[in-house]
Amino acid sequence: MAAFLKQAAAGRGFAVAFSAAALLCALLLACPSPAFADIAGDINAWLCGILRDTCNWIFSSQADMLKSIGAGGVLSSGFDQMLGQAGTVTMYDVVRGVWQHAILPIGCGMLSFVFTVQLIKVSQRMDGNATMPGVKEVVFMLVFFAVFLFLIQNSFDLMAAVYEVVRLAIDRVVGLFGQGMPLDLSAVSITTTDDDVAALIAMLVVALVSWLVVIVAYVVALVVSWARAIQIYVMAAFSPIPLALTSLDETRQMGVGYLKNFVAVCLAGVIILVLLVSFPIVLGGLNAAGAGVPVVDSIVGGLSYALQYLAMCVLLILSLVKSGSWARDIMGG
């Protein structure tokens, strides 16, 4: 057997066959079967994924921006710290000083004038025999003067107490709902599953525009909150004057109107907080609200959601601006 193999290996035909087989194996190894890869499709899917994630991140960041105004901001600060401080002086110190040294004397002087008017009215009720007015009327007039003098001398603290009652309501709303429900963006992701770069770029443009609108809404919310705080301080500083007007029948409606307006300004904080807390909840329900509308494809659905989002941001700005008038409507105009 060994001799036969040795003789076959030494033959010319075997050498040629072996060389051909070796060359064929080398060619097979050098030229493997080609694998057709969709490089353009992979790039398109990667780019669409980046655009989709960017849109979702923009939407989520907008909701988080608006949440920062509620619990830890101006709305839930104490009466003496609504606008912070510069050094050792706060706006609370300024308005309290104005109330104590400038407005309180005016209110007491007006009350004295009212007391004098009431004394004249009592004296005019004297009978024809020039008898002195009854003890009952005199005692009533003294009690009337003492009560209103107490109200005027403590008017600033009374207004602060009204504010603290409303702040308690704000704290309870925050404790009940927190700073707002997290925004569920799964609906946006589902409606943008098609890898259409052009449509996703259009959605990104809408997202950027809505972010600009949310920034405007954020600024409006801060301005409305700060303006509310300043208005509360100013109204509290001038409270002795309308309270003194309340003691006179002819001007009582002016004082009652002041009290209603002050309570309305305080209640506006609750309305602003409710708007900010409910904003992510309303956004989360936009997709459900449009579930009955036929959608041509998922890209159209995604753009529709983005446009609804933009509309809700504009509506939020208008609601924040109207929060004061809504509070006045609650108090009867």
Three-state DSSP string of 156-223:
HHHHHHHHHHHHHHHHHHHHHHCCCCCCCCHHHHHCCCCCCHHHHHHHHHHHHHHHHHHHHHHHHHHH
d(CA 45, CA 68): 35
> What integer best gives the mean pLDDT of the chain?
76
Most trustworthy range by pLDDT among 38-52, 106-120, 202-216: 106-120
pLDDT over 80 at 168, yes or no: yes
Beta carbons within 8 Å of 137's beta carbon, 6+ residues apart? 122, 125
Map out the domains of the chain as residue ranges. Answer: 40-330
- Is pLDDT larger for residue 68 or for residue 312? 312
pLDDT over 70 at 15, yes or no: no
d(CA 333, CA 179): 30
Q: Once rounded to an integer, what is the mean pLDDT over residues 140-158?
A: 90
pLDDT over 70 at 14, yes or no: no
- The answer to whether 113 touches 249, Cβ cutoff 8 Å, is no
The model carries a pTM of 0.73
pLDDT over 80 at 13, yes or no: no
Q: What is the pLDDT of residue 260?
A: 93
Closest CA to 290 of 317, 276, 309: 309
